[in-house]
Structure 1
């Protein structure tokens, strides 16, 4: 038998009775399951509306003395509307007004429309390169930080200067992307339903992870220390860089913003959290209309919970009632020193409208449900006596 004949015989044995037809069948693309097709289509539809967000710091080069933009943090975001508004986490922009957004293959500068530190939400707007709308040399404008803040919050809030409105319609120059649909409410979420997270973990753009709703009604702390309630827990992999990206349901609508993970190592451990769409919509709507979020406040500064516990006291210890504020007008007394320099404890808030207050989280929960102009019945421990005062809440920017 010749060499050629031997090769032909071996080939016929390998191909079997169907010969080249079997090889052709193997080369054809396999079909997807219904679940796979749903996931693929959802990703293709949503991906163009998910962006990468990079906050930049301006530094002077030590050798050339030129001003340079240095990336100092990155995350994700998504398109909110056709006017170029982008929603992300407040901690992603990290109090910087110099932000770059990557939309598809294109990069744009973005202005900060407003932030809600209490709910860890920020709204940006993509701007076209018009030097008159940016700071010197197109570097943006850094925020100013007020010395004191209403409501007794301990973390400074950036105040972003109002920029000139964009004169060129963004829709004419930006890629034609559709904003993601946002669910009106997540009250009907069920534990076990499928969810999808799209973001840019570790700088890997447009990464999709899937999972389920692991729990609802969770509570986490925002960057300002104020609790965020109604948080969605998911086992979809969320890693650094996913912050600000959307958490989607099986219809492709946003049910939350991926914001945090519970992990000693800082990487995914199967416990991720997303700010619910209800909270996102409320904050974004106010920011777009007023440039800020207004909440009711008491106008007090209070001691950290740990310090109060160390004193063996239960409640909120008032350090200061801001002059002219709601608490000051109602007669709430702050902490002071007597003529000998000894510390005289201020009022201890024990209940608000009958709700027992054991920590700052309890107080914030009550305030989140209250309205500006509402009068609260507050029970305080003053010295050894208990007193009731009526406090009418004022807006947080008053």
Structure 2
């Protein structure tokens, strides 16, 4: 008899945890959204096609603000947000930080009938803590996966106190379509945004990463200092600079420009001639950014220096950036203007 009682007592915690997770899922799931995007692709023959993709996100304010991964929306011409009841809303990018793969988008209109997720404190999370993720892996909307925090990776610049990026490693299942979806702690608070996986199979191999919510807040929520330009670019190294006849040992080669973005309004041009270098394929023929506000873009350190400098600018100074670009062999200056 005592053995039966002991067995029942041991089983109770598992039942309670299962019920608790079920309750938490029901509570927070309506704040999780599916994000569908459409990107315009210009080919070397002048033809234009559209490519659609899908990710996830989480509603964080009654004004229709949503957090997601930067790579989900960075190149999007059109963004559609779908809630759990099937209602769809158009959205636009407000702020974006590719260095940490986080973005803030906002619904163009919103009827404010959905619950807002609560943001936690990711600094309080430890390795071994239980977490769960809600997203749309392979289009399976509002799918739940559970795991633990397996590790924590912090990347800082050489400048004291400036966090470049910070990620939680997790064994909670992450697959295509989960990107940008929220990672919740055992209280149902968002402590991370799904970013990427490390995989040899192409699917989930037990190692996934989520950008921490504290760095996300610092970069795109609590600050208006991180601007979305609409530029998709790659860093030019010394070898590529020589190949492209760039008059300095680096720059940013523009791959594409999102329609109606600040970069589009500044008449910046993306490339349309594919070039394979090793296992990487890039598009050449577009503008190459040489300087931003007189800071030469010759290394990752210089880019970080520019990011750091924006935090010291007055608000009015951040409304426009001066770019020096290389276009068709000639150096030009353009002004990248941001709306108020």
Unpaired runs of at least 5, structure 1: 1-29, 60-68, 129-169, 221-226, 295-300, 309-316, 329-333, 335-359, 375-393
Kept in 2, the 8 Å contact 1:195–1:211? The answer is yes
TM superposition shift of 1:32? 7.2
Distance in 2 of aligned mates of 1:212 and 1:203: 24
Secondary structure of 2:152's match? Answer: strand
- Name the counterpart of 2:114: 177
Unpaired runs of at least 5, structure 2: 1-11, 42-48, 157-162, 242-247, 252-289, 323-340
For the pair 1:111 / 2:73, whether they are aligned, the reply is: no
CA deviation vs aligned residue, 1:344-387 (integer Å, no higher than 9, x gap) = xxxxxxxxxxxxxxxx567777777777559xxxxxxxxxxxxx
For the pair 1:229 / 2:165, whether they are aligned, the reply is: yes
Distance in 2 of aligned mates of 1:373 and 1:126: 29
Kept in 2, the 8 Å contact 1:213–1:234? The answer is yes
TM-score by length of 1: 0.53
Kept in 2, the 8 Å contact 1:216–1:233? The answer is yes
Which one of the candidate residues 35, 54, 65 is aligned to 1:53? 35
TM superposition shift of 1:264? 2.2
Which has more radius of gyration? 1
Counting matched residue pairs gives 246
Moved over 4 A (4+): 305-308, 317-321, 360-374
Kept in 2, the 8 Å contact 1:214–1:233? The answer is yes
Distance in 2 of aligned mates of 1:370 and 1:187: 25
RMSD of aligned alpha carbons: 3.9
CA deviation vs aligned residue, 1:260-285 (integer Å, no higher than 9, x gap) = 00002321110000001111111223
Distance in 1 of aligned mates of 2:25 and 2:296: 51
For the pair 1:81 / 2:61, whether they are aligned, the reply is: yes
Distance in 2 of aligned mates of 1:57 and 1:97: 5
TM-score by length of 2: 0.61
CA deviation vs aligned residue, 1:175-212 (integer Å, no higher than 9, x gap) = x22211112x4223211110101100000000000000
Q: Could you say which structure has the higher strand fraction?
A: 2
Q: 1:235 to 1:302 in 2, by over 3 A?
A: closer
Q: 1:31 to 1:319 in 2, by over 3 A?
A: closer
- Name the counterpart of 2:321: 397
